[in-house]
Amino acid sequence: MENNQPVRIGAHYSIRNGYTGAAKAALAQGAGAFQYFPKNPRSLGVKDWNRKDAGLCKTFCAEHGLISVAHTPYPSNLALSEEEDGSLFHKTVASLRNDLEIAEACGSKGIVVHFGIYKKSNPLQGYKNIIQCVNRILSDWKGQAKLLLENQAGNHGDMGMTIEELLQIRKLCLNPELVGFCFDTCHAYAAGIWSGAGDHDFWEKAGSLGFWDFVECVHLNDSVYPAGSRKDRHARVGQGYIGEEALTQFTEIAELGGKPLIMETEAGPDLTYREDIDLVSGWASI
């Protein structure tokens, strides 16, 4: 069981010095987990990645007990229609499959992908598109790395703002065991599904739906804007509207024991994440 383990605090690291370089930087700054872009975050191009570096990263992480997740490029949109957006759909599937293979080689838990953007009038079609795309990415996938759906802030339309949608998509996929979640605290707060410290309704609902069991990664971000703003602007932990008390509650969720809490914010004054990692580690009494 993972539940007796402490959460793993970490941040997003550059692969400027390779996947192994990201892992080493994370460890040097006191992180127990890290996130990285497996390739250029602005492009869906398939990367001919460095197998040796990825293998070294996997070994290094195993030796030092580091957990990692990969974040897919920003243009990745699961809600595209194969029929209407054919070539972009296929490009997206190939890109995400490439991300999964890199994540697997690096020994990562999975690839984080935003829920999807669908702006046409029939939302049901958007959900069907997401399921179709997820099924295609995971067809014949034999690895351990999972596809991790991330909740959205509501800045790109209405879809993917609730935990019910994430659970429903997972349930309807052909391989739900290969689908997990990445829960972003800033997005949840901005979407208005969670109003911060003391929001017991949200805790109870998430618990009773079994949501945390499928969360493989938390993005522990504070928010520059108030609850319900639908603006996706991350603030350093404890420096935004969500605040320390509410974020501390995330470090105490039993089901998240052993899982990564990743900060996606700017580095501290020393250009590392050490300050924020130490801060959250203190909240989590690690």
Q: Measured from the CB of residue 211, what is the shortest distance to Zn ion in angstroms?
A: 16
Of 20 and 72, CB closest to Zn ion: 72
Strand 222-223 relative to strand 234-235, pairing: antiparallel
Would you state the structure tokens that stand for residue 272, as one six-digit string? 């590392």
Quickly count: other Cβ atoms within 10 Å of residue 91's Cβ. 18
3-state helix, strand, coil split of the chain in percent (to 5) is 40, 15, 45
Instruction: Look up residue 7 and give its DSSP letter.
Output: P
End-to-end CA distance of the chain: 18
For residue 263, report the phi and psi dihedrals to the nearest 5 degrees: -95, 130
Q: Measured from the CB of residue 190, what is the shortest distance to Zn ion in angstroms?
A: 11
Distance CA 237, CA 223 (A): 8
Residues 198 and 247 sit within 8 Å (Cβ to Cβ): no
Q: Measured from the CB of residue 251, what is the shortest distance to Zn ion in angstroms?
A: 17
Question: Which stretches of the chain bind Zn ion, using CB under 5 A?
Answer: 184, 219
Position of minimal CB gap to Zn ion: 219
Of 56 and 246, CB closest to Zn ion: 246
Quickly count: other Cβ atoms within 10 Å of residue 187's Cβ. 27
Of 18 and 160, CB closest to Zn ion: 160
Q: Measured from the CB of residue 264, what is the shortest distance to Zn ion in angstroms?
A: 5
* Neighbouring-strand partners of residue 179: 147
Q: Measured from the CB of residue 25, what is the shortest distance to Zn ion in angstroms?
A: 19
Of 184 and 276, CB closest to Zn ion: 184
DSSP-H helix ranges across 29-181: 51-64, 86-105, 123-138, 163-172
Of 137 and 190, CB closest to Zn ion: 190
Of 15 and 261, CB closest to Zn ion: 261
Residues 169 and 116 sit within 8 Å (Cβ to Cβ): no
Of 53 and 184, CB closest to Zn ion: 184
Instruction: Look up residue 224 and give its DSSP letter.
Output: S
Would you state the structure tokens that stand for residue 240, as one six-digit string? 């935004």
Q: Measured from the CB of residue 149, what is the shortest distance to Zn ion in angstroms?
A: 11
Residue that is written with structure tokens 């040796």 in the block: 52
Q: Measured from the CB of residue 169, what is the shortest distance to Zn ion in angstroms?
A: 17
